[in-house]
Amino acid sequence: MRNGLYKVAFRTPRGEGSGVVHLQDGKLHGGDSMQYYVGEYHAEGDHFRADVASKEHSRYPGMQSVFGVPTAHISLTGKFQGDTGTFDGTAREAPGVKFTATLTRICD
C-alpha cells in the first residue's frame, strides 16, 4: 500500500457510512460528516493492521456513529491488493459489533 488519500466505506450491523482517510508513514487521519479518525497503522507486504480512534465532531438529529457511541477505539486487520484494502475490526466500546471497511486510494 502507498501513502496517500483514500476513500473509506464502512459498515456494522447498526449502519454504514463513508469518508476519507490519509495514510502517511504509519499515521492515519481522516473523517466524515460526524466523526474524525486518528490513529496508527502498520503495513507489511499486503498485510495491514491499525488502531484508530473515531471521535464525534458534529451532531445531527437522528444520526449516530455505526457503533452507536460518540467515541470508538477500533482495531483493524486486513489486506491490500494494489490500491484497495479490505479490513475487519472491532471497537472496545461496542463489544460484539463487527466492523468492515474498504479503502480505495484516490490520490497522493
Report yes or no: 56 and 34 within 8 Å, Cβ to Cβ: yes
Give 41's pLDDT tier (boundaries 50, 70, 90).
very high
Rounded to an integer, the average pLDDT of 63-83 is 95
> Residue 57's pLDDT is what?
96
**Whether pLDDT at 77 is above 90:** yes
> Residue 1's pLDDT is what?
85
Report yes or no: 65 and 72 within 8 Å, Cβ to Cβ: yes
Is 57 in a helix, a strand, or coil?
coil
pLDDT over 90 percentage in the chain? 95
Q: Which long-range contacts (CB under 8 A, 24 or more apart) does 58-61 make?
A: 58/33, 58/34, 59/34, 60/33, 60/34
Cα-based angle 77, 17, 35 (whole degrees, multiple of 5): 85
Q: Tell me the domain boundaries of the chain.
A: 4-107
Rounded to an integer, the average pLDDT of 6-22 is 97
Q: Which CATH number fits domain 4-107: 2.40.128.380, 3.40.50.1000, 3.40.47.10, 2.60.260.20?
A: 2.40.128.380
By C-alpha distance, which of 97, 95, 79 is closest to 87? 79
The 10s digit of each residue's pLDDT in 79-104 is 999 999 999 999 999 999 999 999 99
**Whether pLDDT at 22 is above 90:** yes
**Whether pLDDT at 39 is above 90:** yes
